[in-house]
Every structure is written in C-alpha cells, then in structure tokens.
C-alpha cells in the first residue's frame, strides 16, 4: 500500500474537495496488470477521502509504442472496452469520479484519450488535441474539441500532456465554466532544463491555474520505458496558482492527495475589482480565441 502524500487526515467540509493524483509506473503492454494496479490505487485513494481521482496518460497500456499495429493491438472501444468497464465498476462501488488515460479505438481511428467516469457510468471521452513526437505516427488528432463535463464533484475539463503547453486550452476551459482541469500526463524532460529549478510542466500549469482562476490536477507516471525517462512531479494546484499538494518526486509511486476550496466566492478574483476572465479586453482580441464554443459569463459575473 502506498502512503498518501499531502493527506491531512481531516474530513472535508461540503465545499472542500479532496482530489487524488495517482503517480505510478505502468508496464508496457501489460493491460490486465496495469488496470488491476490502477484499481488498487483508486481504492486506496478513495479510502483517504478522495472524491476525484486522476490517473496518468495511457496508464492502461504504457506510452512508448513502436508501430501503428502495436498501438491498434492495445486499443479498446469506449465505453464498451474492458478497461473502461473495470473503472466504471470501481467508480460505482467507491462512489468516486475517475479521469484516466487509454488508447481509444473508433472504427479505423486511434486516439490518445481519457475517459471521464462517475458512479452513473461513462460521462464522456476527451481525445488529445495536440500530439507529441511519435504520437503523430500512431494516433489521430482529437476531433471532439474541448468539452466540459458536469460531474458530482464539479464541472471538469481534460487536458492531456502536451495540450498543457497551449494556454488556449485552459482559457477555453475556464470560459466554458470548468472549475477543475484534470491532466493525465506522461511528462518527459525538456531541452535545456537547468538543475535546481522546477520542471517546465509545473511552471506552465501553475501559471495556467493562476491566470484562469481554475483548479488543475496533474497525474504523471514514473519510471523508464523502452529507454524513455518520465518525470513524475504530479501536482494539484489551487485557483491562485499555488500547489496544495506536490510536486511529487520523479522516482516514487505516490498517491497525491490535495484539498481545494470549491466555494465559487473564494479564490476566484485577484482583488475586489479584478478577475482574469471578466477583465479581458475582448474589444481587442476575440472572446473565444477563434474557437467554436458557447461562452456564458453571466453566472461568473454575478459572483463578483
């Protein structure tokens, strides 16, 4: 059993939410092992009081594919695939919301996807929009935009790994009313990373949480797979942009537990008169950054 990192042991109030980011090492191609391991860790996280549980990108399969055929062999349909079914059963039994990454097959297309599941079943799927490196050889780019899901724990959007390098992802999530962005990820080292500084991924996601007044929960993997090193550093960030749990170390499997305030009157504004969304100069730049989405800030403005 993994000990939780950042767990206070205190019961959460009705407007507090405990989030778990599960940092572990999937074994490439060993889907049954990985799913069994993920459910064991989900059970532990639920036992620590987490109601929203985020797992890494492609955590059921591993990440370093070497051919389209290999990727296809490890793919599953959503929602009828065995991995999704196993996570649905766990969500129902434990009364939690789960966001987790897998290889989704839809006809002849393959997607680097994340399923969003609560006790009622599969709420939807997010397909990674920005493909990194060899992913472009094996996956189609996401074709379902940037949906926001109504869940028992709040309004959630999903960003996968390299998506997080595009600030539009977080701004559009916030503009659509997302309260939490879940980030299943497989972060790898970036060029010219100086020793002794936070990894770029942590810097980017802290800045995104701050500039959009949104909670961000990042679950990374650890280990070395087919020669590729992964960075760990899972982190849970509040609306002000500061970590409430993590970053974890690179070397350890961890259940990261963080508590965030879901009261919309808290941590939403930078001052009594300033808010990062309502202060936007949409007379100078587009309201929705060119995306075809519906934006409604009436409720947000009423909170100010």
Catalytic residues: 57, 128, 161
Dihedral (CA of 25, 30, 32, 33) sign: negative
DSSP 237: E
CA distances from 153 to 53, 70, 303 (A): 11, 36, 19
The answer to whether 257 touches 7, Cβ cutoff 8 Å, is yes
SS3 category, 34: helix
Q: Which residues have a Cβ under 8 Å from the Cβ of 156 and sit 6 or more positions away?
A: 52, 97, 99, 116, 148, 149, 178, 179, 180, 181, 182
- Strand ranges for the chain from DSSP E: 4-5, 16-23, 52-54, 97-106, 109-118, 121-127, 148-151, 154-158, 180-184, 215-219, 224-225, 228-229, 235-237, 243-245, 254-261
SS3 category, 216: strand
Dig out the tokens for 36 from the structure.
């069994």
Dig out the tokens for 154 from the structure.
């709040």
State CA 11 to chain mean position distance.
24
């Amino acid at each position: 059993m993994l000990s939780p990192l950042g767990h206070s042991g205190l019961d959460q109030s009705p407007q507090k939410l405990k989030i778990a980011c599960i940092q572990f090492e999937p074994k490439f191609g060993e889907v049954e092992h990985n799913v069994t391991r993920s459910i064991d860790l989900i059970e532990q996280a639920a036992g620590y009081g987490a109601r929203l549980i985020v797992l890494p990108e492609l955590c059921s399969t591993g990440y370093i594919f070497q051919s389209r055929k290999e990727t296809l062999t490890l793919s599953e349909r959503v929602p009828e695939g065995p991995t999704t079914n196993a996570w649905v059963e766990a969500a129902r039994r434990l009364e939690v919301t789960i966001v987790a990454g897998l290889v989704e097959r839809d006809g002849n297309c393959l997607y680097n996807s994340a399923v969003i599941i609560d006790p009622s079943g599969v709420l939807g799927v997010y397909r990674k929009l920005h493909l990194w490196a060899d992913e472009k050889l094996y996956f189609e780019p996401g074709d379902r935009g940037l949906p926001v899901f109504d869940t028992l724990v709040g309004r959630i959007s999903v960003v996968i790994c390299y998506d997080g390098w595009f600030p539009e992802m977080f701004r559009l999530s916030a503009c659509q009313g997302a309260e939490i962005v879940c980030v299943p990820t497989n972060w790898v080292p970036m060029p010219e990373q100086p020793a002794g500084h936070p990894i770029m991924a942590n810097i980017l996601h802290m800045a995104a949480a701050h500039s959009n007044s949104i909670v961000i929960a990042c679950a990374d993997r650890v280990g070395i797979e087919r020669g590729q090193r992964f960075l760990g550093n899972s982190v849970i960030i509040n609306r002000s942009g500061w970590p409430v749990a993590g970053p974890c170390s690179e070397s350890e499997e961890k259940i990261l537990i963080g508590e965030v305030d879901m009261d919309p009157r808290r941590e939403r504004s930078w001052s009594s008169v300033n808010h990062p969304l309502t202060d936007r100069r949409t007379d100078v730049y587009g309201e929705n950054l060119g995306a075809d989405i519906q934006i409604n800030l009436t409720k947000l403005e009423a909170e100010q």
